[in-house]
Structure 1
Amino acid sequence: MPDDDKFHVINTSMYELTKVLNIKQNGKNYADMAKAIGDLRKKEVLIHDEEKRTITQTGWVQSAEYHENGQVKIELSPKLAPHLLGLKNNYTQHLLLDTTKLKSRYSILLYKLMRECDRDNGKSIAILQGTPDEFREWLGAPKEYTYGQFKQNILTKAVEEINLKIDDMDLEIFQGRYNRKIVQVEIHNNWTVHSK
């Protein structure tokens, strides 16, 4: 409900989850679904609070309870409630299922940035642009990395993982130079609804 101040336990079933996610209902998919929920439970979420000058480390899922009859009870981390409940603007919608497919934290961060750039849901090419320093900051790269190291060890690998695992993304890196120095970086998502 819009005025809730805490999360309620989600009571659902494997059957409902497979219907919502449009996947076939079978034992293997149920096992994969349970694994994905488990991965969400383990996936780290960092909440930065500038006012209190703190960082809270939590996960998406507090607990998941599976019953023999296929019923599932999922409880989201209560630490997320103040940040997600009542959210009406300044957010980016992305598929939770997509982020569970990605293993690298850099890939997840780049995925979220690309979703923010996709203002028209794939009707045109989404473009993320910035300086090499901005990209290093956005993805949380080690400060001692040169742009070459960052591109080789983080950016290119993140683009490759996203292209391999996310159906509606086809990312490509472009670079702008000034006097042989890289001064501008762009990542284009070449996938559009017209390219299906």
Structure 2
Amino acid sequence: MYELTKVLNIKQNGKNYADMAKAIGDLRKKEVLIHDEEKRTITQTGWVQSAEYHENGQVKIELSPKLAPHLLGLKNNYTQHLLLDTTKLKSRYSILLYKLMRECDRDNGKSIAILQGTPDEFREWLGAPKEYTYGQFKQNILTKAVEEINLKIDDMDLEIFQGRYNRKIVQVEIHNNWTVHSK
């Protein structure tokens, strides 16, 4: 819990520890459904089997045995990013775009990372309201997310590109022109 308070930049006090314990308790009560297409079954379980709180602020969390193989099996299919970066971002759209851009980084920042798709794919990826036109989506969500990331994430410099067919936008690309800040 001590490390988490440092990463999230919150005070280390009894109330915050109690809030984290409540959040872990809530997570323990949350239901998870695991679909198995091969066996044609659905398993109903929870996230956390148990949580053990130590006086020194350590917490030992035991994952549900039914869920553990699915979480631990992510070893080869995951995207790594800094929790500290995502805590800097306020907009859920910025957080989603940040994660998508990290997924595009196949060579750890050695070349420009490019996220590309149709306007509809971008709206779906970021969970934009379905009634938004592309223009509304770009103005209200995409541009603001790019600006927030560029402002708050040190190694990212995002730029939006659009491909047109006649006058219609048919392709959207976001490039990350990686920046390196020396200290």
Structure 2 length-normalised TM: 0.66
Cα RMSD, aligned residues only: 4.9
Kindly indicate whether the alpha-carbon contact (under 8 Å) linking 2:7 and 2:83 is maintained by their aligned counterparts in 1. no
Answer 1 or 2: higher relative contact order, Cα 8 Å, separation at least 6: 1
Which position in structure 1 is the counterpart of 2:56? 69
* Residues 53 and 105 of structure 1: CA distance in aligned 2, closer, same or farther (over 3 Å): farther
Kindly indicate whether the alpha-carbon contact (under 8 Å) linking 1:128 and 1:188 is maintained by their aligned counterparts in 2. yes
The total of aligned residue pairs comes to 183
* Residues 131 and 79 of structure 1: CA distance in aligned 2, closer, same or farther (over 3 Å): farther
Q: Quote the Cα distance in structure 2 between the aligned partners of 1:152 and 1:53.
A: 44
Q: Quote the Cα distance in structure 1 between the aligned partners of 2:86 and 2:47.
A: 11
> Which structure has the larger Rg over C-alpha atoms?
2
* Residues 58 and 65 of structure 1: CA distance in aligned 2, closer, same or farther (over 3 Å): same
Cα-to-partner distance string for 1:107-147 (whole Å, 9 max, x where unaligned) = 11111110111001111111111111111111111111000
Q: Quote the Cα distance in structure 1 between the aligned partners of 2:42 and 2:92.
A: 17
Which position in structure 2 is the counterpart of 1:56? 43
- Which runs of 5 or more structure 2 residues have no equivalent in the other structure? none
Kindly indicate whether the alpha-carbon contact (under 8 Å) linking 1:175 and 1:183 is maintained by their aligned counterparts in 2. yes
Kindly indicate whether the alpha-carbon contact (under 8 Å) linking 1:127 and 1:189 is maintained by their aligned counterparts in 2. yes
Q: Quote the Cα distance in structure 2 between the aligned partners of 1:65 and 1:112.
A: 31
Kindly indicate whether the alpha-carbon contact (under 8 Å) linking 2:51 and 2:60 is maintained by their aligned counterparts in 1. yes
- Which runs of 5 or more structure 1 residues have no equivalent in the other structure? 1-13
Kindly indicate whether the alpha-carbon contact (under 8 Å) linking 1:171 and 1:189 is maintained by their aligned counterparts in 2. yes
Q: Quote the Cα distance in structure 2 between the aligned partners of 1:92 and 1:57.
A: 26
Kindly indicate whether the alpha-carbon contact (under 8 Å) linking 1:123 and 1:193 is maintained by their aligned counterparts in 2. no
* Residues 162 and 134 of structure 1: CA distance in aligned 2, closer, same or farther (over 3 Å): same
Q: Which shifted more, 159-168 or 81-90?
A: 81-90
* Residues 144 and 123 of structure 1: CA distance in aligned 2, closer, same or farther (over 3 Å): same
Q: Quote the Cα distance in structure 2 between the aligned partners of 1:33 and 1:108.
A: 21
* Residues 175 and 44 of structure 1: CA distance in aligned 2, closer, same or farther (over 3 Å): farther
* Residues 40 and 149 of structure 1: CA distance in aligned 2, closer, same or farther (over 3 Å): farther
Kindly indicate whether the alpha-carbon contact (under 8 Å) linking 2:154 and 2:181 is maintained by their aligned counterparts in 1. no
Q: Quote the Cα distance in structure 1 between the aligned partners of 2:116 and 2:55.
A: 49
Q: Which runs of 4+ in 1 moved over 3 A?
A: 14-83, 192-196
Q: Which shifted more, 147-156 or 37-46?
A: 37-46
Q: Quote the Cα distance in structure 2 between the aligned partners of 1:54 and 1:97.
A: 38
Kindly indicate whether the alpha-carbon contact (under 8 Å) linking 1:106 and 1:158 is maintained by their aligned counterparts in 2. yes
Instruction: Determine helix, strand or coil for the equivalent of 1:62.
Output: strand
Q: Quote the Cα distance in structure 2 between the aligned partners of 1:157 and 1:55.
A: 39
Q: How far is 1:103 from its partner? A: 2.0
Q: How far is 1:160 from its partner? A: 1.3
Cα-to-partner distance string for 1:63-97 (whole Å, 9 max, x where unaligned) = 99987856566677999645321323222112222
* Residues 35 and 191 of structure 1: CA distance in aligned 2, closer, same or farther (over 3 Å): farther
* Residues 99 and 55 of structure 1: CA distance in aligned 2, closer, same or farther (over 3 Å): farther
Q: Which shifted more, 57-66 or 128-137?
A: 57-66
Q: Which shifted more, 185-194 or 147-156?
A: 185-194
Taking only the aligned residue pairs, the percentage that are identical comes to 100
